[in-house]
Structure 1
């Protein structure tokens, strides 16, 4: 959990001109856009079973549920801000293993699915794409949105990594253990081309996981810092080319050296800031 404080402090030092805002907690009604009301109520009251808490990966506390609500609220806020700024970043989020009726894999509520549906309800965008570049498949997101043609789920992930029983996204790109920069970037470029050809989104929610990094304990991929910068730039350039607002979430990162994981996330934020300037300068193109 210390990672998130370190990301904020690192971003404040490394990226001049950022505006920081405290996230508001997502309401029961907002959470219910992606989750069963019974699950929201039981999670909020601390009534999750021992098995449900074990699946999530940490025990229930009032602070845990408050943080989970605010993590979803931050993705909502980032999506709203992206429509005026071009890009905005949640310094946490990317909780893509949470299903409609349960949490899993350190994820309580699925912030991307919630925010996507709320942006549609607010009539900001009718077509939303979730571009999930965490090393693990966004199984909860795929499940929640499986029958929703208005949200496109794209996941590049490790074929042999958690979750071992995958769901079906709109576009899954399963990559082998040890994949490096070049092969990853080729696969990403093809996936983004297909996303635009098949869907033409009006908003991107980008899960910029740090866990594809070669130093990650759980990732099994071999992307360098330069490769991850090229990954982020590919997404941001795609969005700028097609004039699509982008909300970024940090998603996973489990480096052997936590400073390295934080450096990957801060690099994403640096590139996002540059993209925001370029996006705003180029709005009239």
Structure 2
């Protein structure tokens, strides 16, 4: 089976190259995956942009309407980190639709990857931290509402805590949130996930992996999931400008290999989303983001 990979041209909202959010990484990642044969030409699974009703499963109706109407208040746009114009609104719907499709493909095939997603700072009432809609939260809520699954585990390996996801699912026993992140990093005010593992600055491959293996087992045993959404952020990398951990490419690959292997050995589907990565060298960053797709092909 060829690994199902989800992509939409609208994932790239075409920011100016000087913008601090490296928006062009999504287009470059698609180029890399095509050039390296991980996906065939015209082999993408192309998602439909998320419907408003889907978005309202995880977000307040007022905020959804503000985004879709490009009327997000300026203070919220400042927290997000960019203006929510027509291209950003479409990008946010497309990325969310991409994670929904990734979840559905994972249920059908056992494993699937998005080339976007992981916008985990968005909470019910607003976006923040480069996150407009919380795509994983929307996908989890939709799959539960449709009766596709009853229990969801979110494994969030972005270097920043998945605070929006934790807040959306606080008190919801159907979704277990696990975040492993750098403790002294954004956001300053942490939320409470079902399992939080806050790490010291500068932690390298071996120490990180030892902690991660134990925590993943604990989260899985507590969650008893029907599907896992895996946020494969690459911002724990030693060269990431927003990271503060010290993982190498090999360390990220081993993290992804262990996570996907552990879950698939237990016959639970895995839906992978991209997560954060903020290096200025777009080609290097795109190739770093492709690690999860390369590792996933080992299990497809």
TM-score of the two chains, using structure 2 as the length reference: 0.90
Where 1:197 maps in the other structure, the secondary structure is: helix
Q: Which residue of 1 aligns with 2:180?
A: 156
CA contact (8 A) 2:28 2:282 kept: no
Choose the corresponding residue for 1:67, options 77, 80, 91: 91
CA shift for structure 1 position 195: 1.5
Q: Which residue of 2 aligns with 1:195?
A: 219
Where 1:131 maps in the other structure, the secondary structure is: strand
Q: Which residue of 1 aligns with 2:9?
A: none
Deviations along 1:232-285, whole A, 9 cap, x unmatched?
Answer: 001111111111111111010011432222111112101112212xxxxxxxxx
Q: Which residue of 1 aligns with 2:51?
A: 27
Q: Which runs of 4+ in 1 moved over 4 A?
A: none
Most deviating of 43-52 and 127-136: 43-52
More helix by share: 1
Correspondence 1:218 to 2:218 = no
Choose the corresponding residue for 1:10, options 32, 53, 60: 32
Deviations along 1:203-227, whole A, 9 cap, x unmatched?
Answer: 0100100101111011011101110
Structure 1 residues 73-92: aligned runs within 5 Å: 73-92=97-116
Correspondence 1:236 to 2:260 = yes
Deviations along 1:95-123, whole A, 9 cap, x unmatched?
Answer: 00001000001100000110011111122
Equivalents in 1 of 2:220, 2:130: separation in Å?
31
Equivalents in 2 of 1:177, 1:16: separation in Å?
34
RMSD: 1.1
CA shift for structure 1 position 185: 0.5
Most deviating of 63-72 and 115-124: 115-124
Correspondence 1:145 to 2:169 = yes
CA contact (8 A) 1:135 1:219 kept: yes
**Cα distance, 1:115–1:14 mapped onto 2, change above 3 Å:** same
Structure 1 residues 260-275: aligned runs within 5 Å: 260-275=284-299
Where 1:275 maps in the other structure, the secondary structure is: coil
TM-score of the two chains, using structure 1 as the length reference: 0.94
User: Please, which runs of 5 or more residues in structure 1 have no aligned partner?
Assistant: 277-285
CA contact (8 A) 2:119 2:133 kept: yes
CA shift for structure 1 position 21: 2.1
User: Please, which runs of 5 or more residues in structure 2 have no aligned partner?
Assistant: 1-22
CA shift for structure 1 position 90: 1.1
